[in-house]
């Protein structure tokens, strides 16, 4: 009897899901709307800078920094500021990229990776210096609010 009930419940759930999928409105034809992803990058840089400033202001408020910590905070924020560049920094022109041979493209990709690694190393040094000025409670707040938390994305399966 238990097996029959479980089978019946599973069947009803599957039927409900199937009907919900078919009852959903169809997706509109045409280009996908721009939600701030890779499309529309000409305005994305400014949007990202504004979003970063909002997150930093919120973190600053949560940390309740003391006067002696303010200088370290300003140094940290300055160090993690993305470089100001036209277009997409670190991304080659598509037409130029397609002219390159496979080994040349790989060399360019490796050079871009090394540049990103150097920026991350600078960010890490600034973060460690600032983090050392925080109390244990402030460190926990910082840990909870600053990137690198793998479980927050993709169900904890790696990429963050």
Using one digit for the tens of pLDDT, what is the confidence trace for 54-86?
999 999 999 999 999 999 999 999 998 887 654
Q: What is the per-residue pLDDT for 113?
A: 95
Going from N- to C-terminal start, the domains of the chain cover 48-63+70-82+92-146
How many other C-beta atoms can be found within 10 angstroms of the C-beta atom of residue 130? 22
Query: How far apart, in whole angstroms, are the C-alpha atoms of residue 53 and residue 64?
Result: 17
Q: Which has more confidence, 127 or 11?
A: 127
Residues whose CB falls within 8 Å of the CB of residue 65, separated by 6 or more in sequence, listed in order: 73, 138
Q: What is the pTM of this model?
A: 0.59
**Alpha carbon distance 40, 5 (integer Å):** 52
Determine the pLDDT at residue 35: 44
3-state secondary structure of 79: helix
Distance between CA atoms of 62 and 112, rounded to whole angstroms? 35
Rounded to an integer, what distance in angstroms lies between the CA atom of residue 59 and that of residue 94?
A: 37
Contacts of 79 (CB under 8 A, 6+ apart): 122, 123, 125, 126
Name the band, by pLDDT with cuts 50, 70 and 90, for residue 40. very low
136 confidence band (pLDDT: 50, 70, 90): very high
pLDDT interval class at 150 (50, 70, 90): low
pLDDT at 4: 60
């Amino acid at each position: 009897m238990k097996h029959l009930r479980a089978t019946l419940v599973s069947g009803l759930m599957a039927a409900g899901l199937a009907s919900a999928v078919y009852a959903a409105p169809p997706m509109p034809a045409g280009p996908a709307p721009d939600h701030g992803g890779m499309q529309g990058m000409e305005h994305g840089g400014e949007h990202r800078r504004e979003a970063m400033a909002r997150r930093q202001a919120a973190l600053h408020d949560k940390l309740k920094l003391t006067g002696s910590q303010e200088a370290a905070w300003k140094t940290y924020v300055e160090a993690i500021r993305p470089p100001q560049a036209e277009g997409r920094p670190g991304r080659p022109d598509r037409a130029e990229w397609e002219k390159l041979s496979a080994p040349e493209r790989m060399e360019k990709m490796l050079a871009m990776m090394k540049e990103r690694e150097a920026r991350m190393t600078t960010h890490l040094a600034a973060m460690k210096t600032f983090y050392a000025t925080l109390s244990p409670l402030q460190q926990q707040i910082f840990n909870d609010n600053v990137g690198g938390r793998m479980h927050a994305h993709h169900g904890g399966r790696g990429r963050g």
